């Protein structure tokens, strides 16, 4: 039984050791981005990817063309052809919406915008007003 435990322990050590223990170390080649010039390029959703450059966020399309220049403090992935974007300024953080073409649907004026369900999203304005809007920013209750 002790021999079996010793064998099992040795087997575990072999499988848990780093790959470099038995082979020559390969030189690491840094991964080159398909879209150079950005600090971060996210995955594509609805044909758009979030990009970060100099601490600002925007979007590119699958060919690398800029759809929304990096000017926001935070952006979210596109869902149903719209994305939430946030700016920070003297009035605090404000959220708005952009479409796939980069058109601002709703200027960043809300404290928060929730997820759109059945064409409506809850919003918070000035920390106290709560209501629903449609994708054009029109209040719907």
pLDDT at 111: 94
Decide which of 2 and 40 is more confident.
40
Decide which of 31 and 94 is more confident.
94
Average pLDDT, the chain: 82
Residue 83 lies in a domain: yes
Q: What is the largest CA-CA distance in the chain?
A: 75
Q: What is the mean pLDDT of residues 109-130?
A: 92
Domain residue limits at 110: 35-140
Residue 24 lies in a domain: no
Residue 114 lies in a domain: yes
Residues facing 51 on adjacent strands: 41, 58
Q: What is the mean pLDDT of residues 103-123?
A: 93
Residues facing 122 on adjacent strands: 132
Question: Is residue 28 classed exposed, middle or buried when 0-12, 13-18 and 19+ CB atoms within 10 A define those classes?
Answer: exposed
CA–CA gap between residue 35 and residue 38 (Å, rounded): 7
Confidence tier at 32 by pLDDT (50, 70, 90): low
pLDDT at 141: 80
Residue 28 lies in a domain: no
**Domain harbouring 45, CATH code:** 2.40.128
pLDDT tens for residues 74-88? 999 998 899 999 999
Number of domains in the chain: 1
Residue 67 lies in a domain: yes
Question: DSSP letter at 79?
Answer: B
pTM > 0.85: no
Residue 7 lies in a domain: no
CA dihedral 93, 98, 102, 103 (to 10 degrees): -110
């Amino acid at each position: 039984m002790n021999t079996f435990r010793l064998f099992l322990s040795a087997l575990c050590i072999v499988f848990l050791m780093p790959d470099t223990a038995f082979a020559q170390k390969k030189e690491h080649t840094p991964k080159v981005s398909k879209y150079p010039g950005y600090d971060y390029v996210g995955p594509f959703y609805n044909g758009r990817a979030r990009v970060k450059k100099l601490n600002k966020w925007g979007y590119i399309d699958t060919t690398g063309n800029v759809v929304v220049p990096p000017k926001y403090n935070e952006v979210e992935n596109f869902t149903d052809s719209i994305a939430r974007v946030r700016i920070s300024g003297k009035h605090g953080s404000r959220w708005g919406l952009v479409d796939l073409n980069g058109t601002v649907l709703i200027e960043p004026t809300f404290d928060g915008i929730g997820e759109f369900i059945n064409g409506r999203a809850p919003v918070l304005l000035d920390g106290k007003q709560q209501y629903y809007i449609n994708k054009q920013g029109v209040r719907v209750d």
